[in-house]
Amino acid sequence: MAVADGGFRALDEKSLIEYIRATPALSSLLGDDLRALTVKEVGDGNLNFVYIVISSSGGSIVIKQAIPYIRCIGESWPMTKERAYFEALTLREHGRLCPAHVPEVYHFDRPLSLIAMRYLKPPHIILRKGLIAGIEYPLLAEHMSEYMARTLFFTSLLYRSTSEHKREVAEYCGNVELCRLTEQVVFSDPYKISQYNHWTSPYLDQDAETVREDDILKLEVAGLKSMFCERAQALIHGDLHTGSVMVTTDSTQVIDPEFAFYGPMGFDIGALVGNLILAFFSQDGHSDNGKDRKVYKQWILKTIEDTWNLFHKKFISLWNEHKDGNGEAYLADVYKKPELWFLVQEKYIKDLFHDSLGFGAAKMIRRIVGVAHVEDFESITDAERRAYCEHRALEFAKMILKERQRYDTIEQITSALQNIPS
C-alpha cells in the first residue's frame, strides 16, 4: 500500500475492505456481516479508481478514489487528487437540484480523496457503451434535458443573487488544475504539435495537419477558450460526455463531475450533443451485414433534437416561474414589458445554442486528433474503416465550429448530418 502526503494512501481491493470495516458510515450500509465482502475495481474512465463493493446480505456501494496523477497516462502526468472534493461537492449540489438523475453520495473522505456513492446496479451501463451496442433509450432526451435545465438554471444568475453566485464561483476557482487540463487538451493541444496527440495514422495524418494549419478554426477556438476561462455562467458538470452518463431504458444517472466549476452552460450541452454526434458518425463502423444501423442513426438524430428542444422548453419555463425571485441578471422591474421579456429570453437561448454548437464541435475535434479518444471509434478494429468515420466527423465538426452562426434550429443541424453524402 503506497503511503503519501497528508494522510493519503492509495487503496487497493484488500485495504479498501479494512477501510470499510473501520468506517461506520460505510459498514452500516453494507449490513451486519462484513466477513464476506466482494470488491471489484471497475474503473474504465481516464482518471480514477472505482470499486464496486457488495456484501453477502445484499448491501452495495461504489467507492471512487482519486490518485495524484492521470490514470490513463500514468505518474508522468501529475494531477491534484483534490478533484475528488469538487466531484463530491458537485454530486451533492447537482443531486439536490436534480435528485432523480444524480447518484446519492453516502460519504466523503477528503484526506483519502475517496467518495462513497450509490451503486448504479445492472442493467445500468455507460451510455457510450449502449450507443455502441445500438440500444435505444426512449427517456434519454427527457431525462438529460431535465438534468441540464435544472442544474444550469438554478446555479445561474437567472435564479441567484450576485452575492451568492460570487461566493460559489470563488469556491470552485479551487478546481483550477482540472480546468487547466481542459484548457490544454480541448482548446490548445489539437491545434499544435503536442506529445500527447494521436490519431488513426497514416489515414488521418493530413487531417491532423489541416487542423493545425487552419487559421479560421484557430480564431474560433480562441473565442471558445476565452469563454471557457472567463464566463462563470453556471455550475457546469465540466465533462458531460456519454461516458459520464449511466442508463437503463427507464433510468438516467449523471456521474463523474470532477471537472465541475462555474463556466459556460454551452460547455455541458455541447459535450452531450457533440458526443451524440460522434456516436452518430461511428455507427457506420459498427454496422455489419446482418444489422445495418440506419434506423438507429435516425434515433440518435431524434434524440439530439429532443434533448435541445426539451432543454429549451424546460429552461424557459423555470425562468418564467422564477422571474420574480432573487435572480439578478434580468430584474423583472426592468424587463416587465412582455415583448422585451420575450426578446431577452430569445437572445439568451440563441447565444446558448451557438455556444453549445461551438463547444460541441471543439469536443468532437479533440476526441479525434487529441490525447483522449472515445470508445465509439476506438472499438472499430479496422483502421481504414475507423478513419473513414473519424474523417467525416472531423469535417462536420470543423464546419460547425466555423459556421455555427448560420444555424438557428437543432433541426437544421440534424438535417445537415442527414444530408452528408457517403
Site residues (vs ligand ADP, CB under 6 A): 42-48, 50, 62, 64, 103, 117-120, 126, 243, 255-256, 258
Q: Do 164 and 231 contact (CB within 8 A), yes or no?
A: no
Nearer to ligand ADP, 86 or 153 (CB): 86
Taking the complex as a whole, how short is the minimal distance between the CB of residue 366 and ligand SR1, in angstroms?
8
Nearer to Mg ion, 306 or 375 (CB): 375
Nearest to 42 by CA among 130, 121, 140, 101: 121
CB 323 within 8 A of CB 315: no
CA quadruple 191, 194, 200, 204: dihedral, nearest 10? 40
Closest chain position to ligand ADP (CB) = 45
Distances 77 to 60, 173, 285, 417 between C-alpha atoms, Å: 33, 21, 32, 37
Tell me if 117 sits within 8 A of 103, measured CB to CB. yes
Residue 268 contacts ligand SR1 per CB under 6 A: no
Distance in Å, CB of 239 to ligand SR1, minimum: 5
Partner in contact with 48, chosen from ligand SR1, ligand ADP, Mg ion, none, beta carbon below 5 to 8 Å by kind: ligand ADP
Interaction between residue 185 and ligand SR1 (CB under 6 A): yes
Applying CB under 6 A, does 66 fall inside the site for ligand SR1? Answer: no
CB of 70 to ligand SR1, least distance (A): 5
Q: 238 or 327, CB closer to Mg ion? A: 238
Residue 126 is a binding residue for ligand SR1 (CB under 6 A): no
Q: What is the distance, to the nearest Å, from the Cα of residue 388 to the centroid of all Cα atoms in its chain?
A: 25
Looking at the Cβ atoms of 128 and 297, the one nearer to ligand SR1 is 128
Cβ at position 370, least distance to ligand SR1 in Å: 8
Judge whether 218 and 191 are in contact, CB under 8 Å. yes
In the complex with Mg ion, which residue's Cβ is closer, 45 or 266?
Answer: 45
Contact 367, 278 (CB under 8 A): yes
**Residue 346 corresponds to which amino acid?**
E
Q: Which helix (H) or strand (E) holds 138?
A: none
- Residue 103 CB, shortest distance to ligand ADP, in Å, is 5
Applying CB under 6 A, does 70 fall inside the site for ligand SR1? Answer: yes
Q: Which residue has the cell 459535450?
A: 271
For the residues of 263-308, what is the DSSP string, one character each? E-HHHHHHHHHHHHHHHHHHHHHH--SS---HHHHHHHHHHHHHHH
Amino acid making up residue 353: F
What are the grid coordinates assigned to 4, written together?
503519501
Q: How far apart are CA 282 and CA 417, in angstroms?
A: 13
Q: For helices 338-369 and 383-403, what crossing angle results, to 10°?
A: 150
Site pattern 352..381 for ligand SR1 (x: CB under 6 A): -------------------xx---------
Task: Please say which residue, 153 or 267, places its beta carbon nearer to ligand SR1.
Answer: 267
Q: Which entry of Mg ion, ligand ADP, ligand SR1, none binds 332, CB below 5 to 8 A by partner kind?
A: none
Would you count residue 309 as binding ligand SR1 (CB under 6 A)?
no
Of 45 and 263, CB closest to ligand ADP: 45
CB nearer ligand ADP, residue 48 or residue 303: 48
Angle CA(147)–CA(272)–CA(231) in degrees, nearest 5? 80
Question: Interface with ligand SR1 includes 46 (CB under 6 A)?
Answer: yes
Quote the least distance from Cβ 87 to ligand SR1, whole Å: 12
User: Closest CB to ligand SR1 among 94 and 293?
Assistant: 94
Specify the DSSP class assigned to residue 159. T
Cell numbers linked to 112: 483519502
Residue 87 touching ligand SR1 (CB under 6 A):
no
Q: How far is the CB of 126 from Mg ion (least distance, A)?
A: 9
Name the site residues for ligand SR1 (rule: CB under 6 A): 46, 70, 73, 182, 185, 239, 371-372
